[in-house]
Amino acid sequence: MPPMDKHFYLPDAAASKIVSVAKTGIAEAQVTILTEAVAIKETGPKETVVKFGEVYAFSPTFIAVHRDVPTMLTFWNLQSDDEHDFMLTAPDSAVLLHLKLAPLTKTSYVFTFHKDGIFDFYCTVHQPEMNGQILVLPPTSTK
């Protein structure tokens, strides 16, 4: 894996108390997040592209996970000519991490959330439409 540049980063020590992220590891759950072209210059609809520019979305836009359960998130950028990114923010809006999603690539990380709450995520390149939320629920009962 190429080194991340200063614009893209995993959680630092403080952010790792909220969510830890690893390139490898054993995951108890898995979610694939796709980048989808909603309206683009190659396929239209032309009127939408003229009025709003190209429109992209994450799919799914809502994910629920349990606290302290390692979850593999696989990001699949389906566009051949568009870079996307994934920025995750804490419930207080602090930026926790920022990942680059290169064209036509699958990128996977194991996320383990250590705090409950709603975490927003964004593609900073395609705002305001390309965003979503991760709901972190309390751990499941072992009884």
Per-residue pLDDT, 1: 35
Per-residue pLDDT, 100: 93
pLDDT at 143 over 80: no
Answer yes or no: pTM beyond 0.75: yes
CA–CA distance, 14 with 123 (Å, rounded to integer) = 23
CA–CA distance, 33 with 22 (Å, rounded to integer) = 17
Q: Tell me phi and psi for residue 142, to 5 degrees.
A: -100, 5
Query: Strand 117-122 and strand 29-39: pairing?
Result: unpaired
Distance linking the first and last C-alpha atoms of the chain: 41
Tell me: the pLDDT tens digits for 52-83?
888 899 999 999 999 999 999 999 999 998 89
pLDDT at 3 over 80: no
Per-residue pLDDT, 29: 96
Tell me: the pLDDT tens digits for 9-56?
889 999 999 999 999 999 999 999 999 988 887 777 888 888 888 889
Tell me: the pLDDT tens digits for 84-120?
999 999 999 999 999 999 999 999 999 999 999 999 9
Burial of 96 (0-12, 13-18, 19+ CB in 10 A): buried
